[in-house]
Amino acid sequence: MNRESSRSHAVFTITIESMEKSSETVNIRTSLLNLVDLAGSERQKDTHAEGMRLKEAGNINRSLSCLGQVITALVDVGNGKQRHICYRDSKLTFLLRDSLGGNAKTAIIANVHPGSRCFGETLSTLNFAQRAKLIKN
């Protein structure tokens, strides 16, 4: 847990377009690169957050929960189950919908704290990364 960190997610999107001209047609290929820094999930009892900081933590935890639900649904769909994928339940999942499902390559770097006092958060982060690893595009 980093007391000095900003309490937000950051999404930086780079759009790359290439154009191929032939005598009769023009083919345009577009690619997106999303660099995402997710805020960590924190428990109120551990942070003792109040006021605006508590509200921010609630919003962050809600969006991370939605992301977890989308990842679980994508894993289920990859295993042949019929599931609705609720990308519209949060701004975060809506922004990341193309990176998570479909024709995409996704890499996740999960940062954890080595100390035993952060065992719960570390385990949660590793479980999240393990589920995301199971997505089949």
pLDDT in tens, 92-133: 999 999 899 878 888 999 999 899 988 988 999 999 999 999
Distance (Å, rounded) from C-alpha 97 to C-alpha 86?
A: 10
Distance (Å, rounded) from C-alpha 66 to C-alpha 43?
A: 17
Residue-wise pLDDT for 27-81, tens only, equals: 999 999 999 999 887 666 666 667 777 788 788 889 999 999 999 999 999 999 9
The dihedral through the CA atoms of 75, 30, 93, 42 has a sign that is positive
pLDDT of residue 10: 93
Fold of the CATH domain 10-133: Kinesin (3.40.850)
Residue-wise pLDDT for 8-21, tens only, equals: 899 999 999 999 99
pLDDT of residue 19: 95
Band of the pLDDT at 5, cuts 50, 70, 90? low
Q: Domains of the chain: which residue ranges?
A: 10-133
User: Coil, strand, or helix at residue 134?
Assistant: coil
